[in-house]
Structures are given as C-alpha cells and as structure tokens.
Amino acid sequence: MLNTIFTKLLIFVVAFSAIIITPHVAKAAGGLYDNQPQDNVVVVQIDGIVASQIQHDGKYYIAGTFKEVKVDGGQLQTRNNFVVVDLATRAVDNWIINTNAPIQDIAIGNGVLYIGGLFTQINDKEQNYFVAFDIASQKPITLNLAANGPVNGLEVYENLLFIGGEFTKIDGVERSYLAAFDLVKKEFRKWNPNVNGVVNDLLINQNRLYVAGEFTQINGQDRTYLAAFAVPSGNLTSWKPVVGGEVLKINVQENSISVTTKTVGTVTLETESSNPITQAPIDNRTQQEKDVDEGLRIHTEEFGFKVPTLGDILTFAIRIFFVVAGLTTLFYLLRGALGWITSGGDKDSVSEARQRIQAAIIGLILVVAVLAIVWTIEQVIFDRKICFGLSCPLTLPALLEPLD
C-alpha cells in the first residue's frame, strides 16, 4: 500500500512540471501533459524547477533544481539538477553532470558548456559555483574562474563570457557581482561596472546585455534592479525602467523584455534602444591604439607561456617545500631501514637506525599535521577567500591592477 501511494505521488510530482520541445521551439510550463509521444513533440517531465534550457546541435540542455527526469513517458531516470535530452533518439542522454545544489544558469559558446549555480561539487568532486565542459569530449575545462560566491547568470557574446552573481572576487580578481571573461586570452577584461548589489540574471538580446538583480547603482549611477549595457563596448545605456521590486529573472519575448520580480510578479518592458553612456568600457581598442596610449608593454601572449606573478612564484615555492619535505622523510625512512638491515645485530648500529626511523616518522606526522591545518583554514574557515598556497593559489593584497 505504501509503495502504491509513493508511486502515485511520484508520478504526480514528476508530471507537474513539464517541458514541451518542438524543433527550434521550446517552452516551459506548469501543468499536466499527455505524455504520449508525438512526431514533432518531445515531452520532458521533471520533479522540480527549470532554471535554464538551451537547444544545441540536436540536443536539449536543461538545468535547475530537480532529481528525476522522464522523456516521452519513458523510464524515470535520476539526474541531479542537469540533464541532456537527445532529440533524435527522444531519450535522456548518457552524459551525466550531477551537482550537490541547484544550477542557476547555463550557456553555450564555441563548443563549450558553461554552468553556474549554488553548487560546491560536480560529480562528487569539489567545484565551487562555476564549471565549464568541452561538449565534444564531455570533459571539464580549466578556466580559472573560481568565484567566492554563487553564479546566477551566464551569457556568451562572441568571445566574451559575462558572469553575474553573488561574488565579489573571481580567481582573486576584484569584480563585484558582474564580470567579463575573454575566452580567447583566458583572462578577465578590465571592465568593472561596480554593481552595488547581487546580480540574479543576465540576458543578451541583439547588441545589449541586460542585467537584473538587487542592485540600485552601477558606477555610481542610479539603476534600480535593471540595467543595460551595449556590447561589445560595455558602455552603460540610459535605460532605467521602473519595476517596483527586485528582479529575479529576465527573458526576451519578440520585441519586449519580460522580467519576474519578488513583489509584483511579471512585468513586460520595451527593449532598450537608447545611445549608450560612455562609461565602464570593456576596452575594445586595437593593439596599436593601446601601445600608443600606454607606451611600452610586454605582450605575454608572444612568449608562448604565462609569465608567473609573485603570487604564482610564492605558491610554487610553498608547494615545492612540502614536496621536498616528503621526499626527505622517505629518504631517511629508507636509510634507517637499510641501516637496520645491514647492522648485523650490532646494538649501536640498530640504535642509530631506530633513531633515524623515529625522526623520519615524527617529521612525516608534523608535515601532514601542518598540511591538514592549513587546508582546513583555507577551505573551511576562509572559504578560499584567503589562501596560503596549498589547496589554492597564495592570496596577496593587490596594490596595482594588471593591464588588460
């Protein structure tokens, strides 16, 4: 009886949230749908909330807060907050990306899938708030985009990845709630619009980046919960709609912008078309213009490798110290063991070998204890905001901003 009740409840919950997918068209809706397959419709049923969905190369990527998925009334499958649906086979794809907390947004650009959210683990491995996967190989890509807070919005425009959320730093770079990452150079742009509150969502429509959240100012100018930037220049526009509450989501509908607020529900607005204010540029000058304006510069991309910073050098020195300490301990353990073996029963030789082994073991315990203490301080106490060079790169106070 209990199993029957559970099954009925599960089916009801799963069927309550559904996505109807048709070629090039997709919409999310709440309600009960006939889950019988149709030729041009794929019905995806989930037991939670869809935060973001993208159709790309014959597959449908869905992310949000859920644990189970069913396609066209087929078998119920476990997928924690992310699922890929193959439109050709009308089935759940084998690619599994499980997170330990909700996914807020996904984006795809140049064959790469970008995922942001509240999670701290991906497939049971530590990964805070952001991850990127190569779609072809389905393997993670290292982009050095470790944020110190949740990532709520992602948008790709040409070779730029815009990131919005609750962070104040990404990979040690000071960026309050909104940042632009160059996907070619693999580095952050100097663009820093100085948002004074959390960014909940991003949207790119034509040549505008729309930003929604809980902020009231951008670069000292009044922008209450909504703002628009011209892209790729990054200039703030004069768009200043009034919506009456903090904005949670923003979507485009034909020639209008639809926003969901905390207090007044859904509001429809006209798209932004004003001339941008010359402010907070992403810095899209040509290299020749930069050289003339800024004088002699070192172009690290011409070296074929990254020029290490002082933090990189100190991090390397700290880590190599512990490597040397471990190798030294191993050497003395082996030396003591060899001395014991070759002592021939001589008491003095045995005593000397025993002392070496004891000293090596005590040294090993001390090294492990220091590693454990420092790791705990970095990961638990400071939450990677302050690092000493072991589990994350050494954090140094920044007196100068590196040139873009």
pLDDT tens digits along 292-326:
444 444 444 444 455 667 777 887 888 888 888 88
pLDDT confidence of residue 271? 76
Closest CA to 113 of 55, 152, 68, 67: 55
Q: Which residue has the higher pLDDT, 229 or 12?
A: 229
Structure tokens at 378: 């970095």
Q: What is the mean pLDDT of the chain?
A: 79
340 vs 336: CA distance, rounded Å: 6
> Do residues 166 and 117 make contact, with C-beta atoms less than 8 angstroms apart?
no
Q: Is the pLDDT of residue 164 over 90?
A: yes
Report domain extents, the chain. 11-270, 297-404
Residue 404: partners with Cβ closer than 8 Å, 6 or more residues away: 187, 188, 189, 190, 283
pTM of the predicted protein model: 0.62
Q: Is the pLDDT of residue 263 over 90?
A: no
- Region at 223 (left for phi over 0; alpha for psi -120 to 50; beta for the rest): beta
Indicate the range of 25-39, 168-182, 290-304, 357-371 predicted with least confidence: 25-39
pLDDT tens digits along 175-230:
889 999 888 888 888 888 999 999 999 999 888 999 999 999 998 899 999 999 99
pLDDT confidence of residue 27? 36
Q: Is the pLDDT of residue 9 over 70?
A: no
- Decide if domain 11-270 falls under CATH 3.90.1490.10: no
Distance of CA 17 to the CA centre of its chain: 26
> Do residues 101 and 63 make contact, with C-beta atoms less than 8 angstroms apart?
no
Structure tokens at 119: 């999670």
229 vs 211: CA distance, rounded Å: 8
